[in-house]
A and B are shown apart, each in its own frame.
Chain A
Amino acid sequence: MWDFVVDRRELIAFQAVQHVSLVVQCVLLATVIAIGLAVLAYRSPKVTGLANGISAIGLTIPSFALLGILLAPFGFGITPAVIAVTFYAVLPVLRNAVVGLAGVDQSLVESARGIGMSRAATLLRIELPLAWPVILAGIRVSTQMVMGIAAIAAYVLGPGLGGLIFSGLSRLGGANALNATLVGTIAIVLLALVLDVVLLLVGRLTTSKGIRV
């Protein structure tokens, strides 16, 4: 296996970068979408329930099925991969953002309003920072989950390490089939761990010392 890695280090590195960049960009996009939706939702218990329901139900949809459905309108390529990965990444962040925002102590919100902060300032400077650790936990869950989903996305010609696994599958029994699959799988697990550590560090750096656990 080592020879395989050394031989193809450029291809593997390229695919690893593609995989991570797909995941990171989709998670970033998903975070923005999810926080936007959560801001719209969290003030009303009804809409909050709806958001939680959508999140829970959305997560039951098998990723291969969703990719299949997306192929019909979009065809092969990066578009269905990005849509599917972003879709799944939104759900945990959405749920956590709603719960995190709804969990902010109302007396603090009142304090903020009471000293003359506008609605927007209260949201940006008080509510979102206080909900941030919970939101970030959602982002971590999302990232771990979509690392695997991105592998399946390779089947619809999305970029990334899934390509190695599928090339192993298509040449099964042939030379290096096992190596390709093994390298692809292990690389995904390792990169998922690395991303998790990175997010942990991001959390340390972006969470106020006053609310760190």
Chain B
Amino acid sequence: MTVDTGRSQAPSTAAEDERDTAPPRKGGGWRALAVQPTLVVLGVVAFLVWRSTTTLSETEARQLGWTVLANSVREHLYLTFAAAVIVLAIAVPLGIALTRARLRRFTPAVIGVANVGQAAPAIGLFVLLATWLGFGFRTTVIALVLYAALPVLRNTMVGIQGVDNRLVEAGRGMGMSAFAVLMRVELPLAVPVMLAGVRTALVLLVGTATLATFISGGGLGVLINTGITLSLNSLLIGGAVLVALLALAVDWLGRVVEHVARPKGL
């Protein structure tokens, strides 16, 4: 399952997302998972060495001071995980509900909307929400939730839809209730696809949270933005590298969770 086939043609491949939502390849296992954290650790070490050895101007030093820096990272993570928790709380139950018999006829429409929404530029969404709700943390989180909910919602639906219908019937045939079938058959089998959606969402969130700076939401984007507006390359690159490392780390975390939580025998 590492191929993107045209999304609108084949719903079963809609789990594929631009951020590579394929479950970890089998075989490679833990060894493949070791490459990414090594890269991240090397990157962090390189950044720390660079930060402690370069001489910075006053403005740069203010933004790249250890406390400010730690603060920016903390803000960025806070934005990411606050949005992630809300996304999970909303999108997973909604996705499950939309695959129940009564709502199933809406599934294609919702998947269609989710696909279209994917093409919407995040920056447009941020600015639109800001015009409506004002600047700040709250608006940022709302924007992030709207943006990252789509992959989770879509993968939840696609994952459950992808469960072989005969298994569901077999479950019902054994006298399991609809709820029991959902909990014991459908969800466990859909977990790999759902987790891939969650990882996609997390990586999207780390990246999109950099745009928070445009609507005063804080985070590491501030460094990049200040660097751009004041032409301070050290700020620019420092912020960019940190965000990239953070994204890689979060992606890795997602892969580890996928690896551990994948039902055995799949």
A-side residues, CB < 8 A to B, are 49, 52-53, 55-57, 59-66, 68-69, 71-72, 92, 95-96, 99-100, 103, 133-134, 136-138, 140-142, 144-145, 147-148, 151-152, 155-156, 162, 165-166, 168-169, 172-173, 177-178, 181-182, 184-185, 188-189, 192-193, 196, 200, 203, 213
Contacts and interface: CB of A to CB of B under 8 A. Distances in A.
Q: Is the interface of B mostly helix, strand, loop or mixed?
A: helix
A185 B243 CA distance: 25
B121 A68 contact: no
B233 A72 contact: yes
A49 B129 CA distance: 41
Contacts, number: 174
Q: Which of A62, A69, A96, A155 has the most CB of B within 10 A?
A: A62
State the majority secondary structure of interface residues on A.
helix
Interface of B: 2-9, 16, 18-20, 25, 28, 32, 35-36, 39, 116, 118-125, 127-128, 130-131, 203, 206-208, 210-211, 214-215, 221, 224, 227-228, 233, 236-237, 239-241, 243-244, 247-248, 250-251
A92 B241 CA distance: 22
Contacts of B20: 55-56, 59, 95
Nearest to A93: B4
Q: Which of A71, A168, A173 gathers the greatest number of chain B CB atoms within 10 Å?
A: A71
A69 B4 contact: no
A185 B129 CA distance: 12
A193 B119 contact: yes
